[in-house]
Amino acid sequence: MHCDSHITPSSFSVYIPMPDGIKIAVDIWLPQTLTGISNGKNRFPVAVEFTRYWRIAEERPTKERVLRLVEQGFAHAVVDCRGSGASFGMRTAEQSDIEIKDFATVIDWLAEQPWCNGNVISMGTSYSANTAEYAMFDAPLALKAAIPRFSDFDIYTTITFPGGLLNNGFLKPWGEGVYAMDMNQTDDINTDWEDYRGLRVKPVDEDTDKALLRQAVAEHQNNVPLVEQLESKVYRDDFELADGFNDSGHSMSPHLLQHNQRLQQVFSYHWASFTDAGTASGAIARFMGSTAPMRVVIGYWSHGAELDTNPFKSMGGDATPSFEDQHRHIADYLSQLSSPDKESPDRLNERALYYFTAGEDVWKKTQNWPPKEMTTERWYLSSNARLGLDPPQNSNGSDQYQVDFDAGTGLYTRWDQMEKIVHYGDRADADKQLLTYTSKPLPQAAEITGHPVVHLQLASTRADGAVIVYLETVAPDGQVTLLTEGGLRLIHRKVSNEKPPYSHFGPYHTFEKKDALPMPIGERVEVGFECLPLSMRIPEGHALRIAIGGHDKDCFDRLPETGDVSLTVYRHKNALSFIDIPLRYLDKAALVDTSATVNPFTI
């Protein structure tokens, strides 16, 4: 979009009434110039963000992400979701169907304003990415596109209970923080939310004495804290996820609504990361299960793409492209919407998945996952802690592992989205607390792109517990780098014959109560699951390693809560344990061939 260089934002805030009488607070920033924007009209496309984290704090500057889009000629609206910030109402659950129904009313209101050109785009990061996608369901015709960045496709598996393991290391401080914000009392907010400590949400312009804000916060007293929502929850169906909009007040999940007609018509541009919880896994499942116009980019970034998380680089480097350039790119990508008289450009009908291969450090484009050039190699666990391509020939063989409940993945993991840094460092010492199997050095470089799938022949001394598998690479100097991971709560081990609700790349587990299957104590059973997706180039001379644990103290709740657990991994010809890895070997020509590379940020 080509705009006058003298753009400065003006802003105002109002309440928008919902059909049930609840008033929703919105702040709106409009581009203003001395001469108007270059198309000669003072009407703009509107980017709207439905947030859980206050649309703006009192006496605080406008958030930079808002200003970046306004500078590019977009109006920008930021909305306090029902029951939060300065909005009225209550929250019995996060992302409830009642909350989601508000979005269409807000979009219609925005589209009808005299400064709007009739085109609305929903966008956001994290919780606001989820709401950006929810806005597409039964969306008004004014909603032309959605830009969800780092969203949760399946709320249960991608962030809350990955593999059925409760992610309390993130959820507990997150829930405490947003509840404090709902109460507008942040003086004692936990350290994860220290940027909000002592702040208060801004009232709307008409509320000069804050009487309306006090009324709204009084209604928030009925909000149900997340810790209570998660209390005693184990199975997917414990949450009574609503299948459709029925005013139940229960949590929704985007994966349940993929049949929605409007979802198939509205262009979406999804951002995800291979190192950000399950955002990459969700983005791939969404893409492969739909024919809707959709663009997906998956990089190695922190949650929100402010930092680089390439495991072969140092910790905490700036993201590429920069955060500022990302928003410029988004504005350019949507520039056609600044003129309602023109048809949408072909790029808004694009269907493509772009992914970054770490180690090779290039972007690639595909229509399939895994990409067609990948082949699946089966690597077997065998005696002497070896991992190899040849299946073991011995009739007996097993390794016993006493679960070390002090084992963990450190302070900067993919599962804590409050911590911007993701960095696992050298895992050599951490692996001493785990059961490991290591290959010979690779004779040539290889690319691994896809979802590795683990199959273990396993026995346990307890009826419940966890198994976590890390795929790693071992450098010639002994440094160990984490490539990806996967885990499963053992009572969820049953493989379902039902049709999955979306694309899966390994055994399908429903995580429902009807399929609970406790471990038969001391008996060998098969436990299979997919790991999180990745795309990495492994240098020649590096070895592959599988490291197996039964707990990650830095992320998940302990299973079982008390007592010791011993796991036995069987690895013989009658009980094969292995991992299927999607890879391709790279000859010297492939190492320098750049014909398949692309730059998704060049328009």
Q: Is the peptide bond before 321 cis (omega within 30 degrees of 0)?
A: yes
Q: Do the Cβ atoms of 358 and 273 come closer than 8 Å?
A: no
Q: Do the Cβ atoms of 438 and 545 come closer than 8 Å?
A: yes
| CA angle centred on 70, ends 69 and 74, rounded to 5° | 80
Query: Strand 453-460 to strand 525-530: parallel, antiparallel, or no bridges (unpaired)?
Result: antiparallel
- Categorise residue 353: left if φ over 0, alpha if ψ from -120 to 50, beta otherwise: beta
> Strand runs (DSSP E) across 33-171, as ranges?
44-51, 75-80, 116-125, 143-149
> Strand runs (DSSP E) across 358-477, as ranges?
362-366, 375-382, 386-388, 398-402, 435-438, 446-450, 453-460, 466-474
> Strand runs (DSSP E) across 417-522, as ranges?
435-438, 446-450, 453-460, 466-474, 480-489
DSSP string across 12-38? EEEEEE-TTS-EEEEEEEEEE-SS--T
Q: Which residues are within 8 A (CB) of 59 and not within 5 positions of it... i.e. 6 or more apart?
A: 202
Distance CA 253, CA 421 (A): 26
**196 bridge partner residues:** none
| Annotated catalytic residue 276 | yes
Q: Which residues are within 8 A (CB) of 313 and not within 5 positions of it... i.e. 6 or more apart?
A: none
Nearest to 549 by CA among 473, 506, 494, 487: 487
Start-to-end Cα distance in the chain: 12
Distance CA 151, CA 131 (A): 9
Nearest to 180 by CA among 54, 89, 92, 80: 54
Distance CA 562, CA 176 (A): 26
Query: How far is C-alpha 311 from the chain's CA centre?
Result: 18
Active-site option among 13, 126, 128, 335: 126
Locate 555 and state its tokens. Answer: 């992320």
C-alpha pair distances (Å), 181 with each of 23, 99, 109, 215: 18, 17, 26, 15
Distance CA 45, CA 28 (A): 12
Active-site option among 220, 303, 509, 551: 303
User: Can you tell me which residue has the tokens 């063989």?
Assistant: 397
Distance CA 524, CA 567 (A): 10
Q: Do the Cβ atoms of 203 and 58 come closer than 8 Å?
A: yes
| Annotated catalytic residue 76 | no
Look up residue 430 and give its DSSP letter: G
Look up residue 111 and give its DSSP letter: H
Distance CA 388, CA 378 (A): 8
Distance CA 111, CA 46 (A): 8
Residues marked as catalytic? 126, 276, 303
